[in-house]
Structure formats: structure tokens, C-alpha cells
Amino acid sequence: MSAKQIGWALKRKTANPYAKLILAILADRSDPNGWSFMSQATIAKQAGLAKRSVIRMLAMLEQEGHIRRVQRFTKTGARTSDHIQLGCHFGGDTQSPGVVTESHTIPSSPYGVGKEEEKGLGVEVPSLTVVGGTET
């Protein structure tokens, strides 16, 4: 368990709150390099979710870049639990989508208050960051 990894997980933007819960559980149970070997059934039990929901949330987290999964197999070739690594350790999701990477001055809002808005000087606002083809 690493408080830093749990903090990282809790700051992620996810498309679903259950996905964030699963990410926090993985962070809590991961080694210092961000690897977790929990089975989907164990994750489901800890999260209070159905195994099928966990499967969907893991796919979502992987698609969003918060985790990566490596399939594992037994000596007989049967599937076993995946290796799951947190994005903060592999250069995946090192910053949350929507983090300001540059800024531009735009005209001030007509609803603004204060001297700057009255003079029409504009205000500094973050630019849009395109992540995966969507604006954030």
C-alpha cells in the first residue's frame, strides 16, 4: 500500500464512480511499482460489485489510460488473474485530462465584476485539452 498511489488514484477523472472505487482498491493493494495481482472476484468482493461490473470497469480504466493489464496464464495454459499496473508507474495517466497545458486570453464575460471586466481587458483562462478525441 502506498499513500502516494492512493492519492494518485483518488485524483483521477473517471467516466464512472465505480471505476474510481476500483482504481483506489487497486492502488491500495499494489506493490511499490504499482503492480496488483488481484483477481476480478476479489476486486468485486471488496468493491461490493458484481464480477461482470468489475470486468467492465477494468476495461474502462484501461481505455482511459489509468491502468494497463498483462494477461497471466498457468502452466497448463489456463487464464489466471491479470497483472494490473497503475498509470502513474508506466507513464500512462500521469496527469488527469483537463490539466492546463497552456492558456490564452479571451474577452471577459459580460457577467464579470471588477475593474478588469469593466475596462474589457479580458481574463486568463485555461485552453481546452483534447484527450482521446473529446474536449475536456
> 80 forms bridges with which residues in the sheet?
72
**Spatial separation of the C-alpha atoms in residues 92 and 69, rounded to whole Å:** 12
In order of 2, 22, 53, 61, 82, the CA distances from 16 in angstroms are 23, 10, 11, 9, 22
The answer as to whether 25 is a domain residue is: yes
- 107 and 76 within one domain: no
Q: Is the pLDDT of residue 35 over 50?
A: yes
**pLDDT tens across 93-121, in order?**
544 333 333 333 334 434 344 343 334 44
- 62 and 29 within one domain: yes
- For residues 58 and 18, the answer to whether their CB atoms sit within 8 Å is no
What share of the chain has pLDDT > 90, as a percent? 51
- 85 and 33 within one domain: yes
Total domains, the chain: 2
The answer as to whether 97 is a domain residue is: no
Structural domain including 111 reads 103-135
Give pTM, 2 decimals.
0.64
- 21 and 83 within one domain: yes
User: What order of strands is seen across the sheet that includes strand 67-73?
Assistant: 35-36, 79-86, 67-73
Q: What is the mean pLDDT of the chain?
A: 75
- 63 and 116 within one domain: no
- 62 and 118 within one domain: no
